[in-house]
Amino acid sequence: MSEMKEMILEVVEKMFKKTVDKETVDLAENGHWAESVWQILKDNEILNVAVSESAGGAGGDIDDLLSLYQLVGKYAVPIPFTETTLSNYILESYQLAISNDSITYCLPQTSLVMNDDQTISGTLINVPWARHVKEILAFAHSSEGVFPVRLSLKEATIHPNTNLAGESRDTVTFNQSKSLQVQSTPLSDDQLQDLNTIDTAAKNALMCGAIEKAFLLSVQFAKEREQFGRPIHRFQLVQQHLALLAGEQAIASSSLENMIAALLEGREQNEVAYTRIRLDEASRIVSTSAHQVHAAIGVTHEHSLHQYTRRLWSWREEGLTANHWKKVVANTLLTTPFDDLWSYLTDSEKIFTTN
């Protein structure tokens, strides 16, 4: 774990508190670019976290990055922070040049075509922030395999679209575009697996942050709102919702913590999947109970709760979903020879720390 982590998190949380309020998110959902948020992160070199200093980054590791994503989720931060930092993290791992500006990425599940003349063609859908950023890390296939490519979005035709939360998820079309850089070898199976894993890990962190916020808003509301002459948190049936929310929040955050520990130790395959599957459940319980606690005001546009519940409903369907990871886990259970489930689960913890 990076020693700087706690300090970075504290500083960034302050920045988010200062620059991201409900109106900022509203504006971004209507297509405005949140320049002040972007600028403060850029000025403080937060956009370069987890890229090594030799590659032009600010240092730090994946733990720092995922913990920052949790904050992005907690404040519904409306800029392509996750996309830019994760693209650069991946580019560096491919030994490709990182982007100095804003960049987004698209997983190879939808890929472009590499033409014989090395130009790129094809259409990508649901690309986060495409209309606002300069570059994209995408994947193009040729007869030799699938290649990571970095492209300028100036070359693309972009049709704006959004997810349920009003975040830009655009359609991007390239037509015989020149790439900025291509990996010299096709994407290996390991690279593909790492890519899927890290993308899901990032989504997990975002969801965990939004879950935490929905929980905090509900507690706050239950303390402030009075009915029948007393604050509603005094009612046992409301307390039950608060307890459910607290439980899901605790499970989410401890899952994330353990997932990150596993990532740092290189035994993440199952952990990322388990976390994704569990957060799917948590997002359902949390959005239901948080809205129930807030009652009518929580479903109005005026209140900020929906900025988190709509994100949960969007994010849980993006990238590789819980459905995908359930299949992965099922397949692993089926094909891995083991004594029994229990010994399998406990054996996979076997990354030893010193006594």
Partner 1 sequence: MKLPAVHFTQRQHEFRFEVRQFLKEKCAEGKFHTKCDSWLSGSNPDFSKLVGEKGWIGLTWPKKYGGAERSSLDRYILTEEFLAAGAPVAAHWIADRQTGPLLLRFGTEEQRQFFLPKIAAGTCYFAIGLSEPNSGSDLASVTTKAEKVEGGWIVNGAKTWTSNAHDAHYMITLVRTDPFDGVKKHNGLSQLIIDLHAEGVTISPINYMTGQPHFNDVYFENVFVPDEMVVGELGNGWKQGLAELAFERSGPERILSTLPLLVELIEELKKQNNVIALEEAAKLVAQLWSLRNLSIGVARVLEEGGEVAIPAALVKSIGTKFEQSIPEITRLLVDTYPRLEAKQKLDRLMAESLLHSPGFTIRGGTSEILYGIVAKGVVAG
- Nearest alpha-carbon partner for 20 in 49, 40, 45: 40
- Binding residues vs partner 1 (CB under 8 A): 219, 222-223, 233, 236, 238-240, 242-244, 246-247, 250-251, 253-255, 257-258, 260-261, 270-271, 273-275, 277-278, 281, 325-327, 329-331, 333-334, 340-343, 345-346, 349-350, 352-355
Cβ 83 vs Cβ 104: under 8 Å: yes
Residue 150 gets the label, from left (phi > 0), alpha (psi -120 to 50) or beta, of: beta
CB of 250 to partner 1, least distance (A): 5
CB of 242 to partner 1, least distance (A): 4
CB of 343 to partner 1, least distance (A): 7
Closer residue to partner 1, CB minimum distance, 139 or 325: 325
Question: Per-residue DSSP letters for 103-139?
Answer: EEE--TTS-EEE-TTS-EEEEEEEEETTTT-SEEEEE
User: What is the greatest pairwise CA distance in the chain?
Assistant: 75
Closer residue to partner 1, CB minimum distance, 113 or 246: 246
CB of 336 to partner 1, least distance (A): 9
Burial 115-137 (b: 16+ CB within 10 A, else e): eeeebbebebebbbbbbbbebbb
The alpha carbon of residue 159 and the mean position of all alpha carbons in its chain are separated, in whole angstroms, by 23
Closer residue to partner 1, CB minimum distance, 171 or 258: 258
Q: Other CB atoms closer than 10 Å to residue 239's CB: what's the count?
A: 13
Q: Which residues pair with 141 in a beta bridge?
A: 113, 146
Q: Which residues fall within 8 angstroms of residue 83, CB to CB, at 6 or more apart? A: 102, 103, 104, 105, 128, 129, 133
CA distances from 172 to 75, 155, 177, 195, 317 (A): 27, 10, 12, 21, 20
**Spatial distance between the Cα atoms of 106 and 126, rounded to a whole number of angstroms:** 8
CB of 206 to partner 1, least distance (A): 18
Residue 56 gets the label, from left (phi > 0), alpha (psi -120 to 50) or beta, of: left
